[in-house]
Amino acid sequence: MNDRSAEPEPLAAAQTFAGYAPAPESTSIVTLADRYDLWIGGEWRPPSEGRWFPTVNPASGEPIAEIAEGSAPDIDAAVAAARAAFDGPWAATSPSQRSRILFRIARLLQERAREFAVLESLDGGKPIRESRDVDVPLAAAHFFYHAGWADKLDWAFGGGVHARPVGVVGQIIPWNFPLLMAAWKLAPALAAGNTVVLKPAETTSLTALLLVEVLREAGLPAGVVNIVTGGGDAGAALAAHPGVDKIAFTGSTEVGRSIRRATAATGARLTLELGGKSAHVIYDDAPLDQAVEGAVQGIWFNQGHVCCAGSRLLVQESIADAFTERLVARMQRLRVGDPLDKNTDIGAINSGAQLARITELCEIAESEGARRVQTTAALPDRGWFFPPTIFTGVDTSHRIAVEEVFGPVLAVMTFRTPQEAIAKANSTPYGLAAGVWTSDGARILWTAERLRAGVVWANTYNQFDPASPFGGMRASGFGREGGRQGLDAYVNLEAAS
C-alpha cells in the first residue's frame, strides 16, 4: 500500500497562485468634490456656521473631501423645506407616481452600482466585495420593494383602512452601512408619502451625498429629501425639532436613549434600532463545516461593525474544541487589507475612535482572564486595522461577553443542554438578533421560540431582505424596518369610510 500521508514537494506555482495577486478595484469611476454643502430644499447650501470637516479614508488615514458641519439653523431650514414639500409638490404626487420615482431610484442605483460601491469602500473602509455584493444591491432592492407598496398602501394593512403619511420624518443613520441604512430609511418613508430630513453619520456622508444625484435624476421633487451632514449636535437638533413628526434612528443604545428622552411627550413618533450582543447557538448536531462559515459570516461580516453581529458564540460543550479549532483555522485564512482589493475579506476599522474602543475592550477581556486568538498575517502599515479575533475561555460575567464591541471580535462560550443555551443566549439587556445551527428541524423551532430577539436566523446568519422585518427588543430598540411591518412606522391608519 502506498503512503497516503506523503508530503509532496510544494510547487512554486501553488504559492504564487495562493498569494492572490492584488486585484484593486479602480477608483477612477468616482469623482469627488473637494467640499460638500448641505442638500436642503432642492439646492446645495453652505452650512450656516460656515464650518466643514474632513472625511477620511480609514484605510489610509488621509482626508478625501470636506463635509459641511450642519447645526441647528440648518436643521430648521431642512425641516421647513421638508414641510413645504410635504404640503406642496409631494402631496400633489399621486401614489403611482411615487411608485415610479422609487423604481427609478432603484434602477439608477443599479446602473451606478460600481460607483456607489467604490465610494462606500473608500469612505467607510468596508471590503469592496461586500459593498459590491451586499450593500449596493440590497439598497436597490429596498427601493424596488417599496416602489411596489407605494400605490397599494391601504392593502398593506389588511384592508378597511386608509394609510396616510405621517409628515416630516427625521432619520439619523449609522456609519456601518451608510448607503444601505439610507435606503432602509428613505424607501418606506417615501413610499408612504412622507418627506425626510436625513442626517448621515459623521464619518460616512459621501454615499448619501452621491445619492442626491440619483434622487434628482429620478424626478423626486425639491425638498422631499433633505440631507444635513454633521456631528452629534446636528443629530440632536433634528431629534428634538418640534417640526418633526417622526424620528427613525439607527445607532448606539446610548444615543438612542437620549433621543427617546428628547422625543418623550412631544407627539413625535419614534423607532429605534440600537446595539446588540447577539447569541449564535451551535448545537452538536449542526452541519459543522457550514456552521463554521455561519460563525464567520456572523462576526466578520463588515469587520464586525454590524449591530446584529453574532458576537457571542454559544457552542455545545461536546463539540466546542473541534468547532473552535476549525473556526480558528478558518479565521487564519481571512484576508485583511486594502478595502478596494476584490480579494479582501476584512477591511479597515471605520475610525480611530472605534479602533481604540475595540483595542481597549480586548485588553480588558485579557485582563479578566479570557484567552485571545488572532490572525497572524501582517496588517497594513497605515490606516486603521484590527485583526480578526476570537476569545475563548469567556464566562458570562466577562465584559467581552456583555458589551457590544462593534468590531471583529468574537466571544466563545459553551453550554451543555438546550435549556442552558437559551438561558445564556437570553442573558443580555439586548435583543436584536440570534442564530441557531442544528440539523434537527424541531430543535430549530424549539430554540427560535425561546430566543428573545427580533430576528432569529436558522442555519444561516446576517441575511437581509427588504420583505423581512428587521428590528430589536429591549435595549436593542423597537420598531421594524422592512416588510409590511416596516411600513407601519411611516403611516397613520385611518378608518375607511
Using CB under 8 A, list all residues that contact another protein: 1-8, 10-11, 13-23, 129, 133, 285-291, 293-294, 333, 342-343, 439, 459-460
Nearer to another protein, 327 or 355 (CB): 327
d(CA 459, CA 448): 11
d(CA 161, CA 377): 59
E strand map for 389-473: 389-392, 409-415, 433-437, 455-458
Give the Cβ contact number of residue 479 at 10 Å. Answer: 21
Torsion sign, CA atoms 165, 168, 173, 179? positive
> Sign of torsion, CA 81 86 91 95?
positive
Taking the least distance from each CB to another protein, the nearer of 13 and 495 is: 13
- The residue annotated as part of the active site, out of 273, 362, 404, 481, is 273
Active site residue 308: no
Q: Which of 69, 307, 308, 404 is catalytic?
A: 307
Please identify, using beta-carbon distances, which residue of 296 and 355 lies nearer to another protein: 296
CA distances from 396 to 133, 189, 358 (A): 35, 40, 19
Burial class of residue 316 in the structure, from the number of CB atoms within 10 Å of its CB (0-12 exposed, 13-18 middle, 19+ buried): buried
Pairing of strands 491-495, 161-165: antiparallel
Q: Least distance to another protein from the beta carbon of 289, Å? A: 5
DSSP state of 113: H
Give 317's DSSP letter: G
Min CB(340)–another protein separation in Å:
11
Minimum separation from the CB atom of position 12 to another protein (A): 8
Which residue's CB is nearer to another protein, number 39 or number 301?
301
Q: What secondary structure does DSSP assign to 411-424, as a single string?
A: EEEEESSHHHHHHH
Of 376 and 397, CB closest to another protein:
376
273 catalytically annotated:
yes
What is the C-alpha separation between 227 and 70, in angstroms, rounded?
Answer: 9
Compute the distance between CA of residue 50 and CA of residue 71 in angstroms, rounded to an integer: 10
**CB nearer another protein, residue 124 or residue 298:** 298
Question: Which residue numbers are catalytic?
Answer: 273, 307
